Homo-oligomer: A and B are copies of this chain.
Amino acid sequence: MPDAYYLQLTEQLRYLITQHATQWEGRLPAERALAERFSTTRVTLRQALAQLEGEGLIHRSNRRGWFVSPARLVYDPTRDAGFNDYVSAQGRQPRTAVLKLETRSHLTAARALGLPDDQPFHHIRRRRYVDDRAVLVESLWVVPERAPELLDIYSGQSLWGLLRGRWGHHLANRSIRMVSEALSPLDAEELLVTPGAAGLNICRAIFDDQQRPIEYDEEHWLHDSLCIRVELSGQQ
């Protein structure tokens, strides 16, 4: 048993939360109320809350309060099932907000796809929700030749579905990178969380079956909102 008080507090809060989550409707009492209940200061209380936040049990919405985190979304970044499909398949409600549509160059995308630095892209930035909680923001950089009128028709649907259905692309080869991160002030603001909150960054470069570059994307997830799962068969 650990002796630091904030670690004991963590356990007591964990118990309290599992007991009262439904009664509280997923929202924790105010920090000052909790600090008083446990006869400690807000600093120590927040240290305990931060522990539970790191575990993914609770999260906070910037300046709004602490909330019990829902179950993680199971996600396989190696498959191209659309967000809407796999969220629905898990009995959750998906939603997408388009934040930006533009055409411009982007160095990182160009390098990831092996194109010249000044290569223009169709850029889509969108925010995606599960059960009305914003869980990720994402930027997609699509090679314009592969999807000429993309920006005119795009309104939040599955991009990969469009690429396959409308333009007949085979998304055959992909290079995926995942790293933990602290959310940038911009990403944090768009996700309504405090800057520096823990996140997971997933980047993908996608090529077709003739190794032609199609698309590059960067996802920024809240760290507690997903569980990555990959199923593989056959020798590697």
Asked if residues B229 and A176 are in contact (CB atoms below 8 Å), the reply is yes
Asked if residues A173 and B233 are in contact (CB atoms below 8 Å), the reply is yes
Instruction: Tell me the minimal C-beta distance from A224 to chain B in angstroms.
Output: 7
A233: chain B residues at CB < 8 Å are: 172-173
Q: Which of A55-89 contact B (CB under 8 A)?
A: 55-56, 72, 77-80
Q: Please pick, from B2, B226, B228, B232, the residue contacting A173 in the complex, using a CB distance under 8 A.
A: B232
Q: Chain copies in the assembly? A: 2
A200: chain B residues at CB < 8 Å are: 180
Asked if residues B2 and A185 are in contact (CB atoms below 8 Å), the reply is yes
A177–B227 Cα gap in the complex (Å)?
Answer: 7
Asked if residues A175 and B78 are in contact (CB atoms below 8 Å), the reply is no
Contact of A192 with B by CB under 8 A: no
- Smallest CB-CB separation from A222: which chain B residue? B180
Instruction: Tell me the minimal C-beta distance from A198 to chain B in angstroms.
Output: 6
Asked if residues B232 and A180 are in contact (CB atoms below 8 Å), the reply is no
Q: Which of A163-188 contact B (CB under 8 A)?
A: 170-182, 185
Contact of A220 with B by CB under 8 A: no
Contact of A22 with B by CB under 8 A: no
Asked if residues A182 and B232 are in contact (CB atoms below 8 Å), the reply is no
User: Which residue, of A174, A180, A235, A236, has the highest number of chain B Cβ atoms within 10 A?
Assistant: A180
A230: chain B residues at CB < 8 Å are: 77-78, 175-176, 178, 230
A174–B78 Cα gap in the complex (Å)?
Answer: 14
CB pairs A–B below 8 angstroms (27 shown): A2-B195, A7-B185, A7-B195, A51-B182, A51-B196, A54-B181, A54-B182, A54-B198, A55-B181, A55-B182, A56-B180, A78-B232, A79-B236, A80-B236, A171-B235, A173-B234, A174-B232, A176-B228, A177-B227, A177-B228, A178-B227, A178-B229, A178-B230, A179-B226, A179-B227, A180-B200, A198-B198
Q: Known pairs A7-B195, A54-B196, A176-B231. 15 more at Cβ < 8 A?
A: A2-B195, A50-B196, A51-B196, A54-B182, A55-B181, A56-B180, A171-B235, A172-B233, A173-B234, A174-B231, A175-B229, A175-B232, A176-B229, A176-B232, A180-B200
